[in-house]
Structure 1
Amino acid sequence: MSEAQELTPYEAVQVLLDGALEYTSAAIVAQQGNDPAGRGEAVDTTLTIIGLLQDSLDRESGGELAQNLDALYDYMTRRLAHVAIDKTTGTLDEVQSLVVQIRDAWAQIDPAKEPAIL
């Protein structure tokens, strides 16, 4: 996609979810390689992406689904805040699994019908 083309809100969410997966993967690799600086950078970027996803929710029109996603994004943010004290990849694996589930569900939405949660 060229830079001149703008993403639809649906496509923007797809890009953000893919980015969150990319950076959680980078954080896992850094954690396994005992690279706290690399892990920290990857976690910070993941937190930024989750914040963007959370901020994009339309809480008025999105109903229960938007509320559930808001709570899930909040949970993931809180979990990522504990990564520095977790010497395993368990927390990162959990967050990555949640992002995969959201991304897979998002892919099932018909992009011609913009979801009301945006």
Structure 2
Amino acid sequence: MAEYFVGQLAKEAGINVETVRYYEKLKLFPKPKRKADSRYRIYDENDLKRLLFIKRAKELGFTLKEIKELFSLRIDSQAKCGDVKHLTEHKLKDVDYRIRDLKKIEVCSLS
């Protein structure tokens, strides 16, 4: 499995190093392993996939809080698919409202 230092991970995901560290601070990532001889953080393919998921979820309008909740539902053995479905349906309704509002603004600006 491939291993990455923080700069390599950030580059692969198309974000900056500070963002990776911020996500770590928010506990969106598990604590990374450290290279014994240098204490550098070491990331793997799962970390990259997680980072790409976060990036895509943000592009779709999910907040970091909502993304963290999605991750916690995934980890929680008691969580059901319905829990994830409920959260995503709620987000879809929010997006629908935003689209309607933007269309109203567009109509007003064209008048």
Fold similarity call, TM over 0.5: no
Report which of the two has the higher share of strand: 2
Structure 1 length normalisation: TM-score?
0.32
